[in-house]
Chains A and B, each alone.
Chain A
Amino acid sequence: DTAVSQTPKYLVTQMGNDKSIKCEQNLGHDTMYWYKQDSKKFLKIMFSYNNKELIINETVPNRFSPKSPDKAHLNLHINSLELGDSAVYFCASSQDTENTEAFFGQGTRLTVV
């Protein structure tokens, strides 16, 4: 049973398209995140939700819109995709916002052509 699962694993799409990445965790955690890892391998946080409420929103273009229908799901919708959006996107979850470890999904490799 995968603790944090993302779909799809790979996504190739054309510029200008709109796409979504889904994330689900079965750990009963309250907090979920989206991280982006660019071609230089830097991992940066994009968003964090706690109990379905947005608590971290880094400097991310508003073409990126996270949605948390319930505590177990945090989806990422991206409008008007650009070449620079190509990256690996990781979903993660943790018990809460305090000092607990985060569990990461296997990532979604997005390629915009």
Chain B
Amino acid sequence: DAKTTQPTSMDCAEGRAANLPCNHSTISGNEYVYWYRQIHSQGPQYIIHGLKNNETNEMASLIITEDRKSSTLILPHATLRDTAVYYCIVRAGASGSRLTFGEGTQLTVNP
């Protein structure tokens, strides 16, 4: 699975959009971009995933660049409960579905 690079930490004001970047310059054509988050002391939680097109669900939006070498997770109206470590993961569909977690980005939403 391709390696990803994320900032170690980010801050965001409550109610504002949180934009979390991820670089995956060695991504292959059959690899998807997944985002998970881990709120303190809880299990990781799936957020969203995509291959080429931008995706949106009730939690977030995923913007993938045309060359697929980077992506951005957008939380449109961050709340205090969104404070968590956010993981960007790239994996191939037939990889036995393992998720390879990196260090992630600690997002802190401030009041």
Interface residues of A (CB under 8 A from B): 4, 31, 33, 35, 41-45, 48, 55-56, 90, 92, 94, 96-107
Contact = CB atoms under 8 A, between A and B. Distances in A.
Nearest to A31: B97
Contacts of B49: 99, 101
Contacts of A97: 94-97
Max chain B CB contacts within 10 Å: which of A33, A55, A94, A98?
Answer: A98
A99 B93 contact: yes
B85 interface: yes
Given A45-B99, A45-B100, A98 B93 contact: yes
Interface residues of B, number: 22
B25 interface: no
B97 A98 contact: yes
A48 B44 contact: no
Contacts of A35: 99
B96 A56 contact: yes
A43 B97 CA distance: 15
Contact of A42 (B41, B96, B101): B101
Contacts of A33: 98
24 contacts: A4-B43, A35-B99, A41-B85, A41-B103, A42-B103, A43-B38, A43-B87, A44-B101, A45-B98, A45-B99, A55-B96, A90-B43, A92-B43, A96-B97, A97-B94, A97-B95, A98-B94, A101-B49, A104-B43, A104-B44, A106-B42, A106-B43, A107-B41, A107-B42
